[in-house]
Structure 1
Amino acid sequence: MLEGLNALRLGIRLVLSAGLRRYVIVPVLINLVLYAITITLLVRGFSSWMDQWMALVPSWLGWLDWLIVPLLAIALLIPAFFTFTLMVNLIASPFYGFLAEAVERRLGGGSEDSRSLGRQAIDSFKRELHKLAYILPRMALLFAAGFVPGLNLFTPFLWMLFSAWCMAIQYLDYAMDNHGVSFPRMRGLLAAGWWRTLGFGAAVSLTVWIPLLNLVVMPGAVAAGAVMWQRRYAALNAEGRSLQVKD
């Protein structure tokens, strides 16, 4: 996780530097609008949602209210902010693709992407839909598990692992997409270095909860993903291992 935090810190510093700030203006504005909507919905519905979930807890576990209530609150907040993150990334995906490419150039590398800007933007949006097709069914299963008495006590921990994995997929993918790495192969690369992948995803998942800082964490995570690609995953990809996995 320490490597992921260091990469994220460098990524945030990069996106705030001259020459790269223009790539984050629109994503930050999108972040602000959706963040305000998410907070409003949570404030209005949190109490009633908690009451519904508590009604599913067996009565014989009532003496564990001190533990159950925080766990259920976490199980509610994580998917809410996870959904918020997915929506921001879907809308901002074309800008993030350009940002990842600009960060690589700043670091002295870069992709050999011959696509036009318009084609890149369209492909980035399609790639984001591909991610959603992978994430949403698994997210739905995990959300449904939260309504199963007994099992719902473990869903906060499952959400944490799932969030770390998906944040890694989300932000490590932009640089890989720029280098023509297919979505299945990208998942194979991340699985091959799963400890590093989960560490990076956990670093993003934790910092995205910090108010105000989270406005720059998302573009910073895109930049950090480009850093991680150059430092780790590009070499792994070049090894030519059989890392293809089924969709």
Structure 2
Amino acid sequence: MIGDFIIGFTYIPRGFAYIMLPGLRRYVALPILINVVLFLSAFVLLLERLGSWLDGLLPHSLSWLSWLILPLLFLALSLGVFYTFGLVANLIASPFNALLAENLELQMGGRPPSAGAGFKATLRSALIGIATQLAALAYQLIRLVPLLVLFLVPIVNIAATSILILFSAWMLAIGYLSTPMGNHDMSFREVRAICAQRKGLVLGLGTGLVLLTWIPLLNLLVLPAGTAAATALWHEKLAHLRHPSGHSRP
């Protein structure tokens, strides 16, 4: 598990290296632009609302613990905001991310997408990618709302920070892996089934993605770099888990 976690994490720097390849740069510019707009919006929202949010989450009786609780709540709230905006960015950029994933996988010697080649095939892959990301978004939000409710409960909201980080790592990884796997007509249910077989790899990748969302400037590149990292992980470590019939192996 630990070994897989480390291996999964190492795909993050590889993702940055891949998006610099000459044949892939043209698929990177628009996702970066989308990320810049949404992350700047998230940053402005944090600056405007953070103080009032923290005051509301910390009862007066626990003000003496503010030195411990406030940093944890700050991490949780900033992660929640960036995570939510990241989901939206991934959805908007999904057709362009699908093209990036497709071309990177072909460069790595992988199979072409199930849809084949040509404009109709590209459009079909884009629509499948959007549908997969919508399914991923719905799956994540249904589980995220109860978790965020825990932040309204004093003391419990401290433990909720760790849970939120772990949840974000898992779901971010699955969301990014949905792009290359969706190129092969895999449903979101199939994506989850395959990821469940290699939890260490997926959590390692997701932890790297979470860290990227907290690092200024680098978080503007997380969309294309994360897509490239997820594509490489899929091609090298997960593709063989899919049964030739199109279903994940038990």
TM-score, with structure 2 as normaliser: 0.90
Q: Secondary structure at the match of 1:231?
A: helix
Answering whether residue 32 of structure 2 is matched by residue 31 of structure 1, we say no
Name the aligned partner's letter for residue 41 of structure 1: L
1:10-29 equivalences under 5 Å are: 10-29=14-33
CA shift, 1:78, in A, is 1.1
Answering whether residue 202 of structure 2 is matched by residue 201 of structure 1, we say no
CA shift, 1:242, in A, is 5.2
CA shift, 1:6, in A, is 2.2
Name the aligned partner's letter for residue 208 of structure 1: T
**Contact 2:173–2:206 (CA under 8 A) maintained in structure 1:** yes
Q: Which runs of 5+ in 1 are unaligned?
A: none
Name the aligned partner's letter for residue 115 of structure 2: S
Aligned residues: CA RMSD: 1.7
Answering whether residue 195 of structure 2 is matched by residue 190 of structure 1, we say yes
- CA deviations on 1:177-203 (whole Å, 9 max, x unpaired) are 112222112101111111111111111
Name the aligned partner's letter for residue 19 of structure 1: G
Query: Could you say which residue in structure 2 is the equivalent of 1:45?
Result: 49
Q: Secondary structure at the match of 2:152?
A: coil
- CA deviations on 1:188-230 (whole Å, 9 max, x unpaired) are 1111111111111111111222111122222111111111112
**Contact 1:101–1:110 (CA under 8 A) maintained in structure 2:** no
CA shift, 1:125, in A, is 1.3
**Contact 1:75–1:146 (CA under 8 A) maintained in structure 2:** no
CA shift, 1:10, in A, is 1.5
CA shift, 1:234, in A, is 0.9
The runs of at least 4 consecutive aligned structure 1 residues that moved more than 6 Å come to none
CA shift, 1:150, in A, is 2.4
Name the aligned partner's letter for residue 90 of structure 1: L
Answering whether residue 85 of structure 2 is matched by residue 81 of structure 1, we say no
Query: Could you say which residue in structure 2 is the equivalent of 1:95?
Result: 96
Distance 2:208 2:156 in 1: 26
Query: Could you say which residue in structure 2 is the equivalent of 1:235?
Result: 240
Distance 2:88 2:38 in 1: 8
CA shift, 1:64, in A, is 2.3
1:71-150 equivalences under 5 Å are: 71-114=72-115, 116-150=121-155
Distance 2:106 2:249 in 1: 29
Q: Secondary structure at the match of 1:146?
A: helix
Query: Could you say which residue in structure 1 is the equivalent of 2:165?
Result: 160
Identity of aligned residues (%): 39
CA shift, 1:128, in A, is 1.2
Distance 2:159 2:107 in 1: 43
Q: Which runs of 5+ in 2 are unaligned?
A: none
Name the aligned partner's letter for residue 100 of structure 1: A
- CA deviations on 1:3-38 (whole Å, 9 max, x unpaired) are 123212122111112110110111111111111111
Distance 1:17 1:175 in 2: 18
Answering whether residue 224 of structure 2 is matched by residue 219 of structure 1, we say yes
CA shift, 1:2, in A, is 2.5
- CA deviations on 1:123-147 (whole Å, 9 max, x unpaired) are 2111111111100011111111111
Distance 2:158 2:44 in 1: 26
**Contact 2:42–2:82 (CA under 8 A) maintained in structure 1:** yes
Name the aligned partner's letter for residue 165 of structure 1: W
| Aligned residue pairs, count | 240
Distance 2:249 2:6 in 1: 28
Distance 1:32 1:217 in 2: 10
